[in-house]
Amino acid sequence: MKVLITGAAGFIGFHTVECYANLNYEVIGIDNINDYYPTSLKYDRLRESGINESDIHYNALTQSSRLPNYKFMKMDLEDAGGIMQLFQTEKFDLVINLAAQAGVRYSLENPKAYINSNIVGFLNILEACRYNGVVKLIYASSSSVYGMSDKELLSVEDRTDHQVSLYAATKKSNELMAHVYSHLYDLKTIGLRFFTVYGPWGRPDMAPFLFADRIINNQLLQVFNHGDMRRDFTFIDDIVEGILKVSVADINEKYKLFNIGNNSPVNLMDFISCLESELNISARLEMLGMQQGDVIATWADTTELISATGYSPKTSIQDGVKSFVKWYKEYYRII
């Protein structure tokens, strides 16, 4: 099968490319390599996949030197003509759309980036799938669509009409747009609501990255709600396993949503303790009250995903943090 993976220079996209290429899928990855966070990390991910920065050009495929069945192209999702031409030329069987403008706080500064990438860009992917015989579209949604829910255990059956960030609103819009295309054009779409993903090659604006940086540099680590917070921290390998299982599963519905998480929330203080243990440094903690707009706990009800695919996350928080810290210290050359 030939698979397109968007966001291939991103955290989840990079790992997903590695997985599918190593399973001998014919993989094409695209990414616009924007500067939401330092592009050096994105280029280093690509280099790890055998794509050298000097060989990258807009709208031109670059062959990986390490993965013989992987090619990369620098491309914007907003480029409707370029996206359509790529689909017409390559004739993808499967599309995994992981490209998006991420981050909640950044949406306050640059809202148009979210509309352009997450709405216009996603529309271009849907249109290209519609007109080019794509069998299945898997796309990234987010646990943020649940908004200010009073529930701790979150189910795909719960209402999701009270988002509290533009990022979350664009992800909810993706789900609605996918539903329309599944209904009108018989396109099979599967949305995955990711819960607190972490691991090697992660984004520097995410909690594990920020926490590790502050602990190592002896800076105060702000802990909200006095540490009484729980998150369904999900290791990247388990996320990629879920994507793979969804892509090969025989799912009859034309439109489907799944939560994808560890199905076992971890107390924030326990997560910090794991980081302290692996870094062998005690954190300087600043205990604060509840942050406005935040929620105490998120917990993915993955019952439907387990039933449909046999999904079973295997990475403990101890092993996941150990793997992340090992990569972090090697990448930043910390002795």
Burial of 113 (0-12, 13-18, 19+ CB in 10 A): middle
Catalytic residue among 146, 167, 181, 311: 167
Nearest to 195 by CA among 234, 164, 245: 234
Is 131 marked active-site?
A: no
Distance CA 33, CA 35 (A): 7
3-state secondary structure of 193: strand
DSSP state of 253: -
Please name the residue ranges forming H helices in the chain.
11-22, 39-48, 80-90, 106-109, 111-114, 121-131, 166-185, 207-216, 236-248, 268-279, 303-309, 317-331
3-state secondary structure of 218: coil
- Per the CB < 8 A criterion, the answer to whether 253 and 190 are in contact is no
Any idea which residues carry the catalytic annotation?
167
